[in-house]
């Protein structure tokens, strides 16, 4: 049984009738068939719902007539109390309401008389607020066995919608949630297939979660048909507040949110190890001046620069740096004292001396001590290249965009 206090929300949602219809439609979207009622008191709403009266009742003075048409079975009394009321000639709530309250309390106890008073609004009926659980865990039985993972998306979205409602009530988001697909029972029972969905930042956007799920399900092998789907998530993380537009809400098409959604889809398609961000390192040797880090952009930013967790190094003495750096410097031929790359290169800027690194010369796979003179050069095909000269000759190290 679910009780909702909606008096303060009637104007916001367009009146009692519209709100009542929206609640029923929302339950249907979650796969439920509610037996609902709307009344000024909680107990009256409960009795009307049990009795199948789904017409909205918004006034206290209507309650005696509306409740009077209900059978006594809605009260869920004991068989002894039912027999005693039958001996009084009471067959409906209207008959019960015509009996003197004092005599009713003496014969059947004060509880029934108090319930009638609370249902009619004559006594207060405070209810304790529902406390949402600290962790989300829901399980859904499928109407039929599903053998293809891609066909699980529709049912899984129902669980995602429930998760988003739980997150909205907690005022937070999750950066990971876990699906469990339980296989059909048989002679050879297989363990559930576990699918963890990771996001680039905490979110409670159902569409965003569904997109990542769709990408993962497309490539998920199932060892057997699925009968149940489970979804669980740990305690939510707080979501940072953001300003909204005066003439409409900002969607995912702007700023860091679109970058986060792109990173999530790439990770779902290519794998987490294939998608990463870059962070600068306080190191003058180009090969050691950057580091791969987890791609976790901050949502709500106006620039995808939030993919760089570490601040960009600012050194006015350093020369230009290319966007594309080769994994290993490529040796260049030298002809008549000029470096060659598809023809002779023309030097535009330099030299810039980058030297030393003795501190890691003895470490395995370390770059060690270097002594290089870097130049910006242009080729015959108008390619802007970053080259250097060392004791071993000329090398191509980077390409400018």
What domains, with CATH codes, occur in the chain? 7-119 (no CATH), 136-238 (3.30.1490.100), 324-399 (no CATH)
pLDDT digits (tens, 9 = 90+) for 359-369: 877 777 777 77
- Angle at which helix 42-50 crosses helix 110-119, to 10 degrees, equals 100
**Predicted pLDDT of residue 246:** 57
**pLDDT (average), residues 62-74:** 87
pLDDT of 296: 61
Q: What is the mean pLDDT of residues 136-150?
A: 88
Over residues 89-119, the pLDDT tens digits come to 888 888 888 888 888 888 888 888 898 889 8
More confident: 323 or 158: 158
User: pLDDT class for 304, splitting at 50, 70, 90?
Assistant: very low
Quick check: 7 and 20 in contact, CB under 8 A? no
Report whether 68 contacts 92 (CB < 8 A). Answer: yes
Nearest CA to 228 out of 141, 145, 350, 307 is that of 141
Residue 253 confidence (pLDDT) above 60? no
pLDDT at 300 over 50: no
pLDDT of residue 3: 86
- Residue 248 pLDDT level (bands cut at 50, 70, 90): low
Q: Determine the Cα–Cα distance for residues 16 and 392; give it in Å rounded to an integer.
A: 83
The model's pTM: 0.52
Higher pLDDT, 398 or 367: 398
- pLDDT band of residue 305 (cuts 50, 70, 90) is very low
């Amino acid at each position: 049984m679910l009780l909702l206090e909606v008096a303060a929300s009637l104007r916001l949602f367009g009146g009692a009738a519209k709100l009542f219809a929206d609640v029923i439609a929302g339950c249907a979207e979650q796969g439920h068939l509610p037996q609902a009622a709307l009344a000024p008191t909680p107990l009256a709403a409960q009795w009307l719902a049990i009795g199948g009266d789904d017409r909205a009742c918004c006034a206290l003075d209507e309650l005696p007539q509306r409740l009077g048409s209900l059978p006594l079975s809605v009260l869920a009394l004991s068989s002894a109390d039912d027999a005693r009321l039958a001996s009084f000639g009471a067959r409906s709530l209207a008959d019960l309401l015509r009996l003197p309250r004092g005599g009713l309390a003496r014969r059947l106890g004060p509880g029934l008389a108090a319930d009638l008073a609370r249902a009619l609004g004559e006594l207060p009926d405070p209810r304790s607020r529902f406390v949402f659980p600290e962790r989300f865990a829901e399980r859904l039985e499928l109407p039929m066995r599903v053998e293809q993972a891609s066909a699980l998306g529709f049912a899984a979205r129902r669980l995602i919608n429930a998760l988003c409602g739980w997150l909205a009530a907690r005022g937070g988001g999750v950066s990971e949630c876990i699906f469990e697909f339980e296989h059909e029972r048989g002679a050879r029972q297989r363990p559930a297939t576990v699918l963890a969905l990771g996001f680039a930042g905490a979110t409670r956007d159902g569409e965003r979660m569904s997109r990542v799920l769709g990408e993962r399900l497309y490539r998920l092998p199932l060892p057997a048909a699925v009968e149940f789907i489970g979804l669980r998530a740990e305690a939510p993380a707080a979501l940072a507040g953001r300003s909204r537009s005066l003439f409409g809400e900002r969607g995912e098409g702007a700023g860091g949110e679109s970058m986060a959604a792109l990173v999530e889809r790439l990770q779902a398609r290519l794998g987490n190890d294939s998608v990463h961000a870059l962070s600068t390192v306080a190191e003058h040797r180009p090969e050691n001046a950057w580091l791969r880090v987890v791609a976790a952009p901050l949502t709500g930013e106006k620039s995808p620069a939030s993919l760089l967790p570490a601040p960009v190094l600012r050194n006015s003495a350093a020369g230009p740096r290319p966007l594309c750096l080769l994994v290993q410097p490529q040796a260049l031929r030298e002809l008549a004292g000029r470096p060659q790359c598809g023809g002779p290169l023309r030097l535009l800027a330099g030299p810039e001396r980058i030297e030393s690194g003795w501190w890691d010369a003895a470490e395995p796979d370390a770059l060690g001590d270097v002594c290089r003179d870097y130049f910006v050069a242009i080729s015959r095909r108008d390619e802007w290249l970053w080259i250097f000269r060392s004791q071993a000759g000329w090398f191509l190290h980077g390409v400018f965009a």
